[in-house]
Amino acid sequence: MSRSKFWDPTGEQFGMPTWPRKMAPDGYATRRQLRAMGLRPGGQPVAGQLLWRSRKARRSGGTGAAWLYLVELALPVRPMTPGKQAGLDAAMRKRRTCPQCDQVRDYCIPKSLGICVECQFADEDEYAFAA
Ligand SMILES: [Zn+2]
């Protein structure tokens, strides 16, 4: 069995460390996998990606993709936030906090979506891969 064309741990070909689906090394997890562990990316940069052939992603050349994060940099889903830090901008902050990924965005979460733009396009970890 030959290695998948998506096997690129150095990121030489795809610009970031890339593995075929289900082949991510230990220590890496998708957002969904982090959530299953009670964790969230916590603002860390994307550490890599999974790519796979996908009928769903036909528009992007038939390639599905999901971002990978480092488990050791992930944070608990419910961070401890001292009440005092809530401060006067709590309401504003709440409007900018995505209920799905728990990240505070620099824009208000669109009411029509109910989630942040990143989540909207993530579609359960998946986004259109444009290469
Ligand atoms: Zn979100």
Ligand 1 is an ion; residues with CB less than 5 A from it = 98, 100-101, 115-116, 119
| CA of residue 79 to ligand 1 center, whole Å | 16
> Cα(121) to centroid of ligand 1, in Å?
9
pLDDT digits 0-9 by tens, 16-59: 999 999 899 999 999 999 999 999 998 899 999 999 988 877 77
Q: Where does the pLDDT of residue 72 fall: very low under 50, low under 70, confident under 90, or very high at 90 and above?
A: very high
pLDDT digits (tens, 9 = 90+) for 90-105: 778 888 999 988 989 9
84 CA → ligand 1 middle, Å = 25
DSSP state at residue 76: E
HEC sequence for 7-61: CECCCCCCCCCEEECCCCCCCEECHHHHHHCCEECCCCCCCEEEEEECCCCHHHC
pLDDT at site 1: 47
User: Ligand 1 mean position to 5 CA, how many Å?
Assistant: 30
pLDDT of the residue at 113: 85
Both tokens of 18, joined, read 């890339």
Separation of CA 109 and ligand 1 centre (Å):
9
Is the pLDDT at 75 greater than 60? The verdict is yes
